[in-house]
Chains A and B, each alone.
Chain A
Amino acid sequence: MTVDSTARATTRRSGVKRTTKKTASNAETATAASPEESTGAGAAAKSTKSAGRTGTTGKKTAAGKAPAKKAAKRTPAGATATKTTAKKSPAKKAAPGKTAAAVAGDAERPEMVQLLTPEGQRVEHPDYAIDLDADELRGLYRDMVLTRRFDAEATALQRQGELGLWPSLLGQEAAQIGSGRALRPDDYVFPTYREHGVAWCRGVDPTQLLGMFRGVNNGGWDPNGNNFHLYTIVIGSQALHATGYAMGIAKDGADSAVIAYFGDGATSQGDVAESFTFAAVYNAPVVFFCQNNQWAISEPTERQTRVPLYQRAQGYGFPGVRVDGNDVLAVLAVTRAAVERARTGEGPMLVEAFTYRMGAHTTSDDPTRYRSDDEREAWEAKDPILRLRTYLEREQLVDDAFLASIDEESDTMAKRVRESIRTMPDPPAMSMFDNIYADGHALVDEERAQYAAYAASFADTDEEGR
C-alpha cells in the first residue's frame, strides 16, 4: 500500500503550481493588509482624528473647553498642562507655597502643594483649600497611626516567619490616607501591592492583605466588596485596568471615579504611558496617583525620568500636580479636586505625591547598599504622622486621653492581626485546580483527577505506616 516516495521527490501530487496559488481573495486580503495600515504615518493621522472625536462624546475635554466653575477654582497649581491652568500660575507668587518648595529640596524642584508644614504649621494654598472639623482631623490621625501600626506588625510577622514577604508603606501614610479618604464608596481603587493604607480607608480587613504574603492565596478578597481591586504585582499593569474601568463608568453615565495607584518606577512602564493616552483620548474619569517615594528598589527617580513626574501629564493633555505626599491635608485636598474633576466629566489628572519610602522596598531588600542614613534622617523630619500630631496638639484638638485611646486601639488591632495570621489555614493542595476558569476546562478536570488519584495513593501508605 505504500507509495514510492522517491517518485515524490520530483513530482508533486498537489498538481498546483505554487506561483499561481495566490487566489483572488488572497490578493484582496493582502491589499487590505498593506503595510501602510499599520505604519506610523497612518497611526498619526488616526490619533489626530480620535483626539478630535473626543469632543463628540458630549463630555468636555480637559484641553478643549473652559473648565466648570467649581473645578476652575480647584484647578491644580503646580500644574502644567492645559489651557485650564496655563493662564493662571498663581502658585508661584504665594508665600506659603514657597515654603513648600524650600521643604521639597533644591531650588530646581518645582513647587508642590502643601497645607501643613513639617513643623505642623497650617498654611494656605491659593488653589487648594481644605476645611476639616476636629473629628475629621482626628480621624485622619487615627487612620495613619493604625495603618503604621498594622504595617509594623506585618513587618514583625515576616521577621518571625509568619509571612514570606512584606512590602512596608512606612512613611507613605499621608499619601495613602489622604487620597483614600478623598473617595466615595462607589469609586474604584486599583492598587499596587503597597496600598495598605488605602485598603484601610476602603474598609478592607487588614488581615485580608496578608494572605498573599503568607502564601495562602494570590490576593483572594472580593474586589467588588469594597471597590478595591486586588494587589497587582506586575508594575504598572493596573493603570490600564483602572483606565478601562473608568471608560466603563463613562459609558454607564455614572459619576463615580477611579483612582490608579503606582510608583515612580512604574512611570517608566509602557502600560502607564498607554493608560495616560487612553485616559486622555477617551476623557476617562480616572485619577493617576503616583506615589513618588524616591526609590524603585535601588534605583532613584533620576533613573526613571529627566522631568518632574507630574509634568508628564502635560504631554498627554491633562493636568498634573505635585503635592507634598507627607502632608495628609494637602493630599486630601488635591485628590478631592482631582476626583471631582473626573466626576464632572473633565477627564483624567495626574497627582504626584512627593514622599519617601522610609523602610526597605520589601523585607527582602537591603537599602543600606544604595542609600545613605542622612537621606533617611532628612525625611524623618518630614514625618507625616508627627506633623499632624504637632498641629492637633497645638490647636488643642486632641488630648492625652484621645492619644492614649488610639494607642490602645492600635495594640488591640495588632493583637488581632497576630492571632489571625497564626491561625490562617493553608489551602488544601487540591485548591490549586480551583477557579482557573469560570466555565471549566477539560484539561484542568483531567489533571485534577490525576492528581487526586496520585495524592490518594499516598494516603493509603500513610495509614499503613501508622
Chain B
Amino acid sequence: MAPGEKLPIAKAINSSLRKALENDPKVLVMGEDVGKLGGVFRVTDGLQKDFGEDRVIDTPLAESGIVGTAIGLALRGYRPVVEIQFDGFVFPAYDQIVTQLAKMHARALGKIKLPVVIRIPYAGGIGAVEHHSESPEALFAHVAGLKIVTPANSSDAYWMLQQAIECDDPVIFFEPKSRYWGKGEEVAQGIPAPLHRARVIREGTDLTIASYGPTVRTALQAADASAEEGRSVEVLDLRSISPIDFDTIQASVECTGRLVVVHEAPVFFGSGAEIAARITERCFYHLEAPVLRVGGFHAPYPPARVEEEYLPGLDRVLDGIDRAMAY
C-alpha cells in the first residue's frame, strides 16, 4: 500500500492481511478458495503467491472443519484469520464458534487464548442467490466470548483488521460485501481509533442515526436529504457490535433526543433492539421519541429482484426519521 493510495475496501483488507502476514509469522490465512483464486471476492488476491501454501491455506469445503482446525492452530500458538465464503455459509461452523471458540478461554479459567479472526462477507444488495446476502451479526452478538466488528470504509477495514488480528480474543469481522469494490479511499495514517469505539461521522442536532457496515452510506445519504428539508441529522458509525459503544450513542442522543437505528439484519431481536433498550434506560429523560429501528423484516432474505424493498434504503430511513420527528 503506497502512501496516499486510494483503495476500495476489498483492497484495504488485502493490504491489511498482507501486513499481518509480514509482521507475524504466526498469522495464517485460511478458507475456501483463498489461495490461487484469491477468494471469490478476490480479497486475498496474491497472498498465497507471496506467502506460500503453508500460510495462505486453501481448505476443504467444510466450514466447521475450518473453524475447528483454526481453534487447534490457535492452541498451538498460531493466529488464524479464517474466511467464511459467504454469510449464509457460516452456520455449519456455528457450533464450533459458539460452543468452543467463544467459551474455551473461560473454560480454561483464562489459561489459554484463542486469537482467531473469522472474516465474513455479509449483507445484501449484490443481486445474489439465497444465502449470499444475510446479516447474521445478532446471532453472534448474543454469545459471550466473541467480539464482533464491522468496518464501513477502507481506512477502518485496514486498521480494524490489524487490531482484530492483534486481539487475543476471537473476533468476527463482518465485511460489507456490497461495498468491497466501491470508490477507493485513502487509508488514514497515524494511530487508529480503539477497535470498539463508535465514531460520529456527521454532526447534527435534531436526530441521531446509528448505523454500521453497509448502512452507513445510506445513513449519510439520509442526513444529506434531511438537510435539504431543514433537519440536522447526526450519523454514527458504530463499527463494533460486541461490545457496542453505548457511551458514544448516549452522548449523541442526549443532544438530539431522537434515535433511529439502521441495519440490514431483521429488526426482531436485532442489534437495534438492544440499542433501543439500553438507550431508553440511559437517556429516558432526554428522549423526545421512542428509539426506532429501520431494518430487515422477519422474513427470509428475499429473492434478489425484490431485495431493494427489504433493505433499509434511503426512503425507508427517511421514513424512519419522519416517524421519529413526528413525536
Residues of A within 8 A of B (CB): 1-3, 5, 8, 12-14, 16, 18, 21-23, 25-30, 32-33, 35, 37-38, 43, 46-47, 49-50, 53, 56-57, 217-224, 229-230, 232, 234, 237, 239-249, 251-252, 270-271, 274-275, 277-278, 281, 434-439, 441-444
| 4 A-B pairs with the lowest CB-CB distances in the bound complex, closest first | A244-B72, A240-B68, A248-B76, A244-B69
- Is B264 in contact with chain A by the CB < 8 A criterion? no
CA distance A144 to B62 in the complex (A): 39
Which stretch (B121-129, B152-160, B185-193, B290-298) binds chain A? B121-129
A244 touches B76 (CB 8 A): yes
* Contact yes or no, B33 A37, CB < 8 A: yes
Within B123-161, the residues touching A (CB, 8 Å) are: 125-129, 132, 144-145, 147
Closest to B104 in A: A230
**Minimal beta-carbon separation of A405 from chain B (angstroms):** 35
Taking CB atoms and an 8 Å cut-off, the chain B residues in 20-36 that contact chain A are 32-33
Rounded to whole Å, the gap between the CB of A442 and the closest CB of chain B is 4
User: What residue of chain B has the Cβ atom nearest to residue A51's Cβ?
Assistant: B60
11 A–B contact pairs at CB < 8 A? A8-B319, A16-B314, A21-B308, A22-B126, A25-B182, A46-B33, A46-B61, A244-B75, A248-B78, A251-B78, A441-B242
Are B181 and A25 in contact, with the CB atoms below 8 A?
A: yes
| In contact, B72 and A247 (Cβ under 8 angstroms) | yes
Chain B residues with CB under 8 Å of chain A are 8, 32-33, 40-42, 53-54, 58-62, 64-65, 67-78, 85-86, 89, 92, 95-96, 99-100, 103-114, 125-129, 132, 144-145, 147, 167-169, 177-178, 180-182, 196, 206, 221, 225, 229-231, 242-246, 308, 313-315, 318-319, 322-323, 325-326
> Contact between A8 and B322 (Cβ–Cβ < 8 Å)?
yes
Residues of A within 8 A of B67 (CB): 240
By a CB distance below 8 angstroms, the chain B residues around A439 are 167-169
What's the minimum C-beta distance from A259 to chain B, rounded to whole angstroms?
A: 13
Kindly list chain A residues whose C-beta atoms are within 8 Å of the C-beta of B144.
436, 444
The answer for the CA separation of A442 and B315 in the assembled complex, in Å, is 34
Chain A residue nearest in CB terms to B89: A38
Q: Identify 13 new A-B residue pairs, CB closer than 8 A, beyond the known A3-B229, A47-B61.
A: A8-B315, A37-B40, A50-B58, A240-B64, A274-B62, A275-B68, A278-B59, A434-B109, A437-B169, A439-B168, A441-B169, A442-B243, A443-B243
- Which residue from B106, B126, B206, B323 sits with its C-beta under 8 Å from A435? B106
Contact A229 B75 (CB under 8 A): yes
Closest A residue by C-beta to B230: A1
Contact of A240 among B96, B128, B229 (CB under 8 A): B96
CB distance from B14 to the nearest CB of A (A): 14
Chain B: CB-nearest residue to A231? B107
B45 CB → nearest A CB, Å:
11
Residues of chain A within 8 A of B59, CB atoms compared: 278
- A18→B225 contact, CB < 8 A: no
Nearest opposing residue in chain B for A242, CB measure: B72
Shortest distance between the CB of B313 and any CB in chain A (Å): 6
- With A30-B127, A47-B60, A219-B108 known to touch, is A243 a contact of B243 (CB < 8 Å)? no
Answer whether A274 and B60 are a contact pair too, CB < 8 Å, given A29-B126, A217-B109: yes
Asked whether A438 and B99 contact (CB < 8 A) given A245-B73, A278-B60, the answer is: no
In the complex, what residue of chain B is closest to A434 when comparing beta carbons? B110
Give A270 to B66 CA distance when docked, in angstroms.
12
Known contacts A16-B314, A244-B68; A26/B125 CB under 8 A: yes
Q: Which residue of chain B is the closest to A252 with respect to CB atoms? A: B76
When A435-B109, A438-B113 are in contact, do A12 and B60 touch as well, CB less than 8 Å?
no
A309 to B104: give the CA distance in the assembly, Å: 29
B242 near A443: Cβ-Cβ < 8 Å: yes
Whether B180 contacts A29 by the Cβ 8 Å rule is yes
A435 and B62 contact, CB distance less than 8 A: no
Question: B145–A436 contact, CB under 8 A?
Answer: yes
Query: A274–B40 Cα gap in the complex (Å)?
Result: 22
- A241 to B72, Cβ gap below 8 A? yes
Q: Please state if B313 and A234 are interface contacts (CB–CB under 8 Å).
A: no
Residues from chain B with Cβ under 8 Å of A234 in the complex: 95, 99-100
Q: Is the CB of A241 within 8 A of B71?
A: yes
**A243 CA / B69 CA spacing, docked (Å):** 6
Most buried by A among B62, B114, B167: B62
Q: Collect the chain A residues with CB atoms within 8 Å of residue B32's CB.
A: 38, 46
Beta-carbon contact of B76 and A219 below 8 Å: no
Asked if residues B61 and A3 are in contact (CB atoms below 8 Å), the reply is: no
Q: Which residues of A contact B69 (CB under 8 A)?
A: 240-241, 243-244, 247, 275, 278
- Measured CB to CB, the nearest residue on chain B to A23 is B182
Residues of A within 8 A of B319 (CB): 5, 8
| A5–B322 CA distance with the chains assembled, in angstroms | 7
Give the residue of B100, B127, B132, B231 whose beta carbon is less than 8 angstroms from that of A237. B100
Nearest CB of B to A33, in Å: 5
Partner of B315, one of A14, A22, A35, A246: A14
A7 to B196, CA, bound (A): 40
**By the criterion CB–CB under 8 Å, are A14 and B75 in contact?**
no
CA distance A26 to B314 in the complex (A): 18
Residues from chain B with Cβ under 8 Å of A242 in the complex: 72
Q: Which residues in A have their C-beta under 8 angstroms from that of B322?
A: 2-3, 5, 8
How far is the CB of A366 from the nearest CB of chain B, in Å?
27
B71 cross-chain contacts in A, Cβ below 8 A: 240-241, 244
Known: A244-B69, A244-B76. A230 touches B108 (CB 8 A): yes
Q: Of B109, B147, B221, which is within 8 A of A220 by CB?
A: B109
B53 with A53: CB separation less than 8 A: yes
B99 touches A271 (CB 8 A): no
**Contact between chains at B113 and A277 (CB < 8 Å):** no
How far apart are the CA atoms of A247 and B246 in the complex, in Å? Answer: 41
* Residue among B59, B231, B242 with the highest chain A CB neighbour number at 10 A: B59
